[in-house]
């Protein structure tokens, strides 16, 4: 994976940050502060999504398209569309 290190750093931040938000909830912190932390975590995961897409297109996807397997190519395109649709929601 091309940018695996960056992705891991972000996911570890998400993991730690989530614990912090759970603690804020249990300590009954102000809801707007909790919301802002929660939105920050969503931002990190959106950036992970972007990096995963970048990695995918430049590795597995590219490789599949260099083969002559038409069925495989179509599957790859359908996967991208499925993920884009999920993200769209």
| CB-CB contact of 49 with 87 (8 Å) | yes
69 binds a copy of itself (CB under 8 A): no
67 binds a copy of itself (CB under 8 A): no
Judged on CB neighbours under 10 Å (0-12, 13-18, 19+), 15 is: exposed
6 binds a copy of itself (CB under 8 A): no
Place of tokens 């993200």: 87
Cβ 71 to a copy of itself, closest distance in Å?
A: 13
Closest to 44 measured CA to CA, from 20, 14, 24:
14
Binding site for a copy of itself (CB under 8 A): 1, 4, 7-8, 11-12, 14-15, 18-19, 21-22, 25-26, 28, 30-32, 34-36, 38-39, 41-43, 45-46, 48-50, 52-62, 65-66, 73, 77, 79-81, 83-89
């Amino acid at each position: 994976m091309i940018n695996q290190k960056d992705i891991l750093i972000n996911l570890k931040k998400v993991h730690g940050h989530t614990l912090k938000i759970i603690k804020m909830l249990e300590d009954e912190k102000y809801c707007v502060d909790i919301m802002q932390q929660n939105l920050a975590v969503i931002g990190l995961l959106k950036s992970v999504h972007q990096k995963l897409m970048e990695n995918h297109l430049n590795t597995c996807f590219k490789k599949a398209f260099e083969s002559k397997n038409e069925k495989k190519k179509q599957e790859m395109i359908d996967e991208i569309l499925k993920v884009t649709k999920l993200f769209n929601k």
